[in-house]
Structure 1
Amino acid sequence: MSKIFSPFADGSIVEPKDFVGRRDIIEKFEPYLKDSINGNPNYFLITGEYYIGKSSFLKYLSFYAKEKYKIISCSWLIENTIEETIEELISLLLWDIKFSQENCYNKIIEDLHDHIIKIVWSKIKFTKEFLIHVKENFVEFFKYLYDNINDGLFFKKYKGLMIQFTAYWGSNLNLFFEWFNNIIDYCNKSHDEIPFIFTLELSKEEYNEFIDDEIAKYFICSELKRLSDNDVRIYFKNSFNKFDWEISDDVLDLLVEHCQGNPCLMQHAGNKIYYSISMGAFDEEEKKGYRVYGYVTNQKLTDPNFVREILRK
């Protein structure tokens, strides 16, 4: 029996192929995606309660922008220092092209050779002086990276770059906004084409604390709400269909009622059901913390009472 990991890992970012809902927000951002590939910078801000799916949405937005508009992206957490965040963004953007555009990657590494301390797998460690320089000339430097990545392509060239920043518990947002305001100011004054989209992910608490009217006027803002009942049904139906599991409308109704459109509860409920069935409704000390024991096909999730008992465990 082959082993397989649950697709419902609690709190994990949903892969674009499994993403459901949020079409209204994609439609809201659509004109600005088009505007950016014409050389005009735009700023997106995603907020919402904790575990409402902000990071999953941004991953899907990156996928959508690349598929439809040939916009590449890089994203990272807002670290304690701007320099740390910048170092990660550069490393991730170059890692993405390392194997598909090896000549381009090598050229950029050669250009930056004097500023590189070491390269360990995907992480490039730069000198402090270089990172300070990039911090002060952020848009120009990422324009250099973007232009070089495009020069390495013979066809299907990229049309834009999306740079994503995600706040978390350790983020120094006072420092970040002090720096980010300079980016906005630079873009407003520049006469060059800047086909960039800057996206920012904040919790509602962070939004209320740090976003005032002066900052908000530059962003296209969207607050993620809970998913619709129909989106919840589609998510579970598609997910269980991957294992050839039959799921009845009665069970779907129960899951809709249980999850209340909260993506985190949806993942948790899916996890409970998956592991309960694949590991025989648990035993042996609850199977030592949900270890994967096997892949069970052709299950029938048709009895809502059976599913209700699983969710109560």
Structure 2
Amino acid sequence: MSKIFSPFADGSIVEPKDFVGRRDIIEKFEPYLKDSINGNPNYFLITGEYYIGKSSFLKYLSFYAKEKYKIISCSWLIENTIEETIEELISLLLWDIKFSQENCYNKIIEDLHDHIIKIVWSKIKFTKEFLIHVKENFVEFFKYLYDNINDGLFFKKYKGLMIQFTAYWGSNLNLFFEWFNNIIDYCNKSHDEIPFIFTLELSKEEYNEFIDDEIAKYFICSELKRLSDNDVRTYFKNSFNKFDWEISDDVLDLLVEHCQGNPCLMQHAGNKIYYSISMGAFDEEEKKGYRVYGYVTNQKLTDPNFVREILRK
């Protein structure tokens, strides 16, 4: 049997073309996107329970900002050291233009030649001294990258840069906020145009621990809630329609009730149903009747009886 690929990203980030909901947050951020391309830096903070779709939302936000406002973006995890995070951000931003703006990429690499140890595919390894310098002059250096990328374009130039930071279990957030406060301070004192948007993704626990009133006043904050019933229905309809599979209202009602607006449960349920229909069998994991996603919920995920009820309908 040939390999069957599911349209559902079980446990992974949803692609922008499959994204649903969150229009209220996009509308909340809209004025600040416009403000940023006029040279004023802004700071977005996204929080919410684990597996509620924060990373998927930020990926969609970067897509939306690029399509509507010509804002280029780069994103990475907050590593144990700021230098590691910076190295990844530079590598990803340059990788994004390597094939579409080869001359520009080559020029920047030539400019930075003395600071580069090696390049392996998309990863550029820099000297420790250089990364410390960039850490201390972060905005100026990324402004240099942004300006050079734009200089390589003859038309449809970018109007802004979005830099996304994502916290995870290994992140050193004390160190990060000590450094990031310096970025905010620099931007506040600068008289130059800085068409940047900084986004930060934190869990609710991390938000409560690290975000005090002094830090919060600089951020436009939004907490992601569970998706509406209508969003859940739209998502499943769109996903199954890719394969010309009709999905009845009673099945949609079951999915809405089962998933409770949780994106992780939606992906998991869709995946199990897809493979059950495509392959006509349950795997061993499904037969166990449950699978626990650490911080999401302790309830059963996609019990085989639930899938069988879907199939009967």
Task: Find the counterpart in structure 2 of residue 241 from structure 1.
Answer: 241
User: Closer, same or farther in 2 for the Cα pair 1:3/1:296, shift >3 Å?
Assistant: farther
Alpha-carbon distance, 1:9 to partner: 2.9
Percent identity of the aligned residues? 100
Alignment CA distance shift 1:249-1:86 (3 Å): same
Structure 1 residue 307 displacement after superposition: 3.6
1:73 maps to what in 2?
Answer: 73
Shift in Å, 1:182: 0.1
- Give how far 1:287 is off: 11
Give CA deviations for 1:93-119 in whole Å, capped at 9, x if unaligned.
Answer: 000000000000000000000000000
CA distance in 1, matches of 2:193, 2:88: 25
Matched residue of 2:289: which SS?
Answer: helix
Deviations 1:281-305 (A, max 9, x none): 2268879999999999999999998
State how many pairs are aligned.
313
Query: Is residue 40–residue 193 contact of structure 1 (8 Å, CA) maintained in 2?
Result: yes
Q: Distance in 2 between matches of 1:62 and 1:282?
A: 37
1:248-298 Cα distance to aligned partner (Å, 9 max, x none): 000000000000000000001001101111111226887999999999999
Decide whether the 8 Å contact of 1:3 with 1:292 is kept in 2: no
Q: Distance in 2 between matches of 1:298 and 1:12?
A: 20
Kindly tell me: are residues 137 and 2 of structure 1, through their superposed partners in 2, closer, same or farther at Cα, counting changes over 3 Å? same
The residue aligned with 1:132 is 132
The residue number in structure 2 matching 1:64 is: 64
Does the CA-based 8 Å contact 1:143-1:194 persist in structure 2? yes
Sort the Cα spacing of 1:241 and 1:32 in 2 relative to 1 into closer, same or farther, 3 A. same
Contact 2:43 2:198 in 1 (8 A): yes
Q: 1:309: how far off? A: 4.0
Q: TM-score, normalised by structure 1?
A: 0.92
| Aligned residues of 1:245 and 1:300 also touching (Cα < 8 A) | no
Take 1:137 and 1:295, find their aligned partners in 2: how far apart are those partners?
37
Consecutive unaligned residues of structure 2, counting only runs of 5 or more, are none
**TM-score if structure 2 supplies the norm length?**
0.92
Q: 1:264 to 1:312 in 2, by over 3 A?
A: farther
Q: Report if the CA contact (8 A) 2:290-2:303 is conserved.
A: no
1:45 aligned counterpart, secondary structure: strand
Paired with 2:32 and 2:297, the residues of 1 have a C-alpha distance of 44
Could you tell me how far apart the structure 2 residues matched to 1:188 and 1:120 are?
37
In the alignment, the residues of structure 2 paired with residue 134 and residue 79 of structure 1 have an alpha-carbon distance, to the nearest angstrom, of 16
Q: 1:262 to 1:86 in 2, by over 3 A?
A: same
Contact 2:52 2:264 (C-alpha < 8 Å) held by counterparts: yes
Change (3 A) 1:232 1:138: same
1:60-114 Cα deviation digits (max 9, x unpaired): 0000000000000000000000000000000000000000000000000000000
Task: Please tell me whether the aligned partners of residues 292 and 301 of structure 2 are also in contact (alpha carbons under 8 angstroms).
Answer: no
Matched residues in 2 for 1:307 and 1:177: separation? 45
CA 1:115–1:303: 2 relative to 1, 3 Å = closer
Contact preservation (8 Å) 1:279, 1:287: no
